[in-house]
Amino acid sequence: MSDPVFLITGASSGIGAATARQASEAGYRTALLARSEDRLAALAEELGGAECSIPVRCDVTEWDEVEHAVAEVSATLGRIDVVFANAGFGAVRGFTEESPEHWRSMVLTNVLGLAYTIRASVDALDESGGHLVITASVAGHVALPGSLYSATKHAARSIGESARKELLHRGIRTTTISPGNVDTPFFDNTPDVHLTDDDVARAVMYAVSQPAGVGINEILMRHPGQET
């Protein structure tokens, strides 16, 4: 494979940005999608500029923007080999603690935005025999007290498994990554025990670097000191 393309949503910071850097080091051209244009442009320049990395502003909760962004990447870079559906954010725990508006935006991003990303990119992945990677969470394995975010990550894991069962017939591999606490902008106060965004990026790169006959369907990862 020559000059493969790695598309990442939520690429402007945290796990997305770390994965973009590691994908670039591994020889991928990168397509960086997020709402923050300035951060995307700076990261794309860091990764080598227009021949190596392109920034595309995209709000994954808007179908037209996702569809247009994926089409732009395909037209500009010629192919898409990996799609990392990583866009997402959390909320304060407690069913009386967070605003309904924040909840709505979170659910649309974490669940509908994921589905939109899959829908928009599946034909390109079909053509390349590519790989879909989804960011879920340890919170998608347990029900955390008062956590609507936890419910969205249960949904992400379910979408990942549903996608795997459908897309395997099209030669597309699917991996869901479920990290525990990560030291990223997700947290206002970093937990005492945590992974780094580079730790999670390495797990993503491990999954996509396997030979064609190996499917890493799900990775559940925590800092060894994290109990829940």
pLDDT in tens, 77-102: 999 999 999 999 999 999 999 999 99
**What pLDDT digit, counting tens, does each position of 44-85 carry?**
999 999 999 999 999 999 999 999 999 999 999 999 999 999
User: pLDDT category, 191, cuts 50, 70, 90?
Assistant: confident
Q: What is the pLDDT of residue 228?
A: 83
User: pLDDT category, 166, cuts 50, 70, 90?
Assistant: very high
Is residue 227 a part of any domain in this protein? no
Is residue 204 a part of any domain in this protein? yes
Q: 36 is in which domain, residue-wise?
A: 5-221
Residue 10 Cα to chain centre, angstroms: 7
Is residue 128 a part of any domain in this protein? yes
The H or E element containing residue 174 is strand 173-179
Please tell me the least confidently modeled range out of 122-131, 132-141, 184-193, 195-204: 184-193
Tally of CB atoms within 10 A around 223:
17
Asked if the model's pLDDT at residue 209 lies above 60, the reply is yes
Catalytic positions, written as ranges: 149
Is residue 228 a part of any domain in this protein? no
Is residue 144 a part of any domain in this protein? yes
* Mean pLDDT of all residues in 104-124: 98
CATH number of the domain to which 24 belongs: 3.40.50.720
* Mean pLDDT of all residues in 181-191: 70
Asked if the model's pLDDT at residue 187 lies above 60, the reply is no
Structural domain total, the chain: 1
Tokens encoding 86: 């990583």
Neighbour-count burial of 100, counting CB atoms closer than 10 A to its CB (0-12 exposed, 13-18 middle, 19+ buried): exposed
% residues pLDDT > 90 (the chain):
90
Asked if the model's pLDDT at residue 189 lies above 70, the reply is no
Tokens encoding 113: 């935005």
State the Cα–Cα distance between residues 157 and 160, nearest whole angstrom: 5
Return the SS3 of 147.
coil
Is residue 183 a part of any domain in this protein? yes
Q: What is the pLDDT of residue 188?
A: 56
Sheet hosting strand 5-9, strand order edge to edge:
53-57, 29-34, 5-9, 82-85, 131-135, 173-179, 218-221
